[in-house]
Amino acid sequence: MGSLLQDSFGREIDYVRMSVTDRCDFRCVYCMAEDMTFLPRQQVLGLEELYLLAEQFVELGVKKIRLTGGEPLVRNGIVGLCERIASLPGLRELVLTTNGSQLQRYAQGLRTAGVKRLNVSLDSLDAEKFRSITRTGDLHQVLAGIQAAQDAGFEHSKLNVVVMKGRNDDEVPALVDFAVANALDISFIEEMPLGVISEHSRAEAFCSSAEVRALIEQRYDLVESAESTQGPSRYWRIPGVDNTRIGFISPHSHNFCGSCNRVRLTAEGRLLLCLGNEHGLDLKAILRRYPGEPARIRDALLGAIARKPWGHDFRLNDDVQVLRFMNMTGG
């Protein structure tokens, strides 16, 4: 059965990205301000509230849930939440996006809980550059986390790389080498204009997917693939390399709005109908005003999805087009 969540353009919504926290142990330059002020804990959805919302999404036909942050693994109780969501009848897969810093501690527990795949942010293989981009991150800790995930039995883990000219664009071939050597997928992402940043000009740092692909093709042949993971990545293959897919997420140069099948839930319970718009719905208010009445949530979701906009309109300049940072959006 298809999803009951269908927008006015006929797109079925069967994928939800749920942020379990806005907090993070990194301060990546493209994601948040260095002196970020996080939400008071009482404003963040509780674990039971997150589960109840996941349950309603799945009842309405959602097949894939991705848990994000902030950094989801700094949320107390995250493994238990994963276990409960993964067991929902009808859910095809539960996946999780992480910065990798806590995977040595949690990888085995996540695997046992039923998480199917992991996405790990890795913007550099140079320790100093990695520290500069993340402001606080330890590259060796993240690499050890990636190894811990593989040791725990995770397959098709994917690296996420936000490419910025003058910061890490020179590392694109080396990052592909690393993915191939470790049987990992990898996606290269165009930076998105979310939140006010001061470290670099987004317009000047913009590196299109076509430019990234050209960098890769200096070393590897690439063949376009029809494969999909139900998300925005368009995949390419390297002939003769079976265990690595090269993905491109191109919100500027090749936006994915026409086939958009997803919505986002922020850590404070706001349903975002589009990454690049402020259209939304306060699900937390409904949950807390009408406890024990899931039908109200379902009705609200059906009505909200019908208002999902066609798409975003990101522009290549330094104007702030969406005030909320990525950690508030759900990465």
* Domain assignments of the chain as residue spans, ordered by start: 15-329
Span 314-326, average pLDDT: 50
Which pLDDT tens digit goes with each residue over 112-151? 999 999 999 999 999 999 999 999 999 999 999 999 999 9
Tell me: pLDDT of 323 over 60: no
Q: b/e string for 15-42 if b means 16 or more Cβ within 10 A?
A: bbbbbbbbbbbbbbbbbbeeebebeeee
Tell me: pLDDT of 267 over 90: yes
Q: How is the beta sheet containing 185-190 ordered, strand by strand?
A: 223-224, 234-237, 245-249, 185-190, 158-163, 115-121, 93-98, 64-68, 15-19, 262-265, 270-272, 280-282
CA atoms 134, 96, 273, 225: torsion sign: positive
Which pLDDT tens digit goes with each residue over 43-93? 999 999 999 999 999 999 999 999 999 999 999 999 999 999 999 999 999
Span 221-238, average pLDDT: 90
Q: What average pLDDT is seen over the chain?
A: 90
Tell me: pLDDT of 324 over 80: no
Span 8-12, average pLDDT: 95
Which pTM was predicted? 0.90
Which pLDDT tens digit goes with each residue over 194-213? 544 556 566 567 899 999 99
5-19, 199-213, 294-308: the lowest-pLDDT one: 199-213
What pLDDT was estimated at residue 313? 57
pLDDT band at 10 (very low <50, low <70, confident <90, very high): very high
What pLDDT was estimated at residue 145? 98
Write the CATH number of the domain with boundaries 15-329: 3.20.20.70
Q: What's the rounded Cα separation, in Å, for the pair 16 and 317?
A: 29
Tell me: pLDDT of 327 over 60: no
